Amino acid sequence: MFELDKIIRANIGRLKPYSSARDEFSGTASVYLDANENPYGSPLSQNYHRYPDPHQLALKKKISTIKGLPEQNIFLGNGSDEAIDILYRIFCNPGVDNAIICPPTYGMYEVSADINDIAIGRVSLLPSFDLDVDRILSSVDEQTKLLFICSPNNPTGNSMHKDDIEFLITKFNGIVVIDEAYINYSRQSSCIQFLTEYPNVVILQTFSKAWGLAGIRLGMAFASAGIIDLMDKVKPPYNISENTQQLALQALDNIEIVNTRIRETVQQRNKLAVDLDTLSIVQKVYPSDANFLLVQVNDAPATYAYLVSKGVIVRDRSRLQLCENCLRITVGTPAENKDLIDHLKTYIA
Ligand SMILES: *Cc1c(COP(=O)(O)O)cnc(C)c1O
């Protein structure tokens, strides 16, 4: 049985959150002398002298409509990376508890664990890059609080089977974190529906990939109201800047542009996969549900160095397990992809 109160850290259960000036007075007034802000404004033409909304209500309202999810189930962070760190701090006692990751996967799960002094259990993906469900469950112990599942997975590009994910949610009494950073490029739909059935699920999405807003740093977490309350309690009060809130609101009004570019990226991904496959140095192009391709070549470090010399930077992932001689290549514009393919053709010659 999953019980939220039982698995959070005792100090977090006792925590009295910071109360900001805007928490203590949230009405409208003509004179605000309560937050030690600068009444003259900044030296810029835009007005940034007031603190931003600590609860990001306008932004959450808009995201709520688009995602079909109540605002109380939405947390916003300074990138998904902030949400990952906060989950460790809510659920894992440093030096005591542990989390499970399934490599090869996104590096931040482990770095964030290391920062928080949380032990990591590594259960490799199967050679097919699917979840090794039995080994994951047999690796769980009393101190296992978090299980990270990345779907579509970085760097392999595949989506995890939804029935595997659901089975793990039902068998594991900790929190299953499903990182959907690349979900907009996936053939498989989001796991958001699991939230209505299961209390131990956290879904991460981000504005950094399909929304094209990596620079504003905005990540989303979707979970039960109880988990979202805890995340809000632990976050720094003003974690999302005024700039970020305003820009994200504008972006959300332009969803058609985003959807058009998603379709374009998916088309380019499929074309790039075909083009790469015809090259003799390419051993294998793995199927991808993301905006990148994992590509096995004859000699990844040499191919990487050659591309750098041509001014084309890809990611050498060949040191990761199950990724021998693999490069991770982000899908670019048609011109960028052509550049890449042209250089690789001359490399063979
Ligand atoms: C890019 C990426 C993110 C995004 O992180 P942000 O902090 O939101 O920019 C999250 N998870 C995975 C697996 C990623 O590849």
- In this prediction, residue 47 carries a pLDDT of 87
Contact 69/222 with Cβ under 8 angstroms? yes
Calculate how far, in angstroms, residue 81's C-alpha sits from the geometric centre of ligand 1. 7
In angstroms, the Cα distances linking 67 to 63, 125, 251, 273 are 6, 30, 15, 31
For ligand 1, atom 11, the nearest C-alpha belongs to 181
- In this prediction, residue 310 carries a pLDDT of 97
- In this prediction, residue 319 carries a pLDDT of 97
Calculate how far, in angstroms, residue 154's C-alpha sits from the geometric centre of ligand 1. 9
- Condensed to tens digits (0 to 9), the pLDDT of residues 119-172 reads 999 999 999 999 999 999 999 999 999 999 999 999 999 999 999 999 999 999
Which residue do the tokens 């007005």 mark? 47
One-letter-per-residue 3-state SS of 43-104: CCCCCCCCCCCCCCHHHHHHHHHHHCCCHHHEEEECCHHHHHHHHHHHHCCCCCCEEEECCC
Rounded-to-integer distance, Cα 299 and Cα 282, Å: 9
Q: Tokens at residue 294, please?
A: 């994992």
Domain ranges of the chain: 4-253, 256-348
Q: Is 158 in the pocket of ligand 1 (CB under 6 A)?
A: no
Is 256-348 in the same CATH topology as 4-253?
no
For ligand 1, atom 14, the nearest C-alpha belongs to 181
Rounded-to-integer distance, Cα 150 and Cα 256, Å: 26
- In this prediction, residue 349 carries a pLDDT of 57
Q: Is 330 in the pocket of ligand 1 (CB under 6 A)?
A: no
Model-level pTM? 0.97
Contact 91/13 with Cβ under 8 angstroms? no
> So what CATH class is 4-253?
alpha beta
Ligand 1 pocket test, candidate residues 151, 179, 317, 331, most atoms within 8 A of CB: 179
- In this prediction, residue 46 carries a pLDDT of 85
Q: DSSP code of 347?
A: H
Q: Is 214 in the pocket of ligand 1 (CB under 6 A)?
A: yes
**Which helix or strand (DSSP H or E) is residue 176 part of?**
strand 175-179
Read off φ and ψ for residue 249, nearest 5 degrees.
Answer: -60, -45
Please state the atom number of ligand 1 nearest to the C-alpha of residue 207. 8
Contact 219/83 with Cβ under 8 angstroms? yes
Q: Structurally, what CATH architecture does the domain formed by 256-348 represent?
A: Alpha-Beta Complex (3.90)
Read off φ and ψ for residue 66, nearest 5 degrees.
Answer: -70, -40
Q: From its phi and psi, is residue 41 left (phi > 0), alpha (psi between -120 and 50) or beta? A: left
Rounded-to-integer distance, Cα 204 and Cα 84, Å: 9
Contact 190/179 with Cβ under 8 angstroms? no
Query: Which residue positions in the chain have pLDDT lower than 50?
Result: none
119-141: burial string, b at 16+ Cβ within 10 Å, e else: bbbebebeeebbbbbeebeeebe
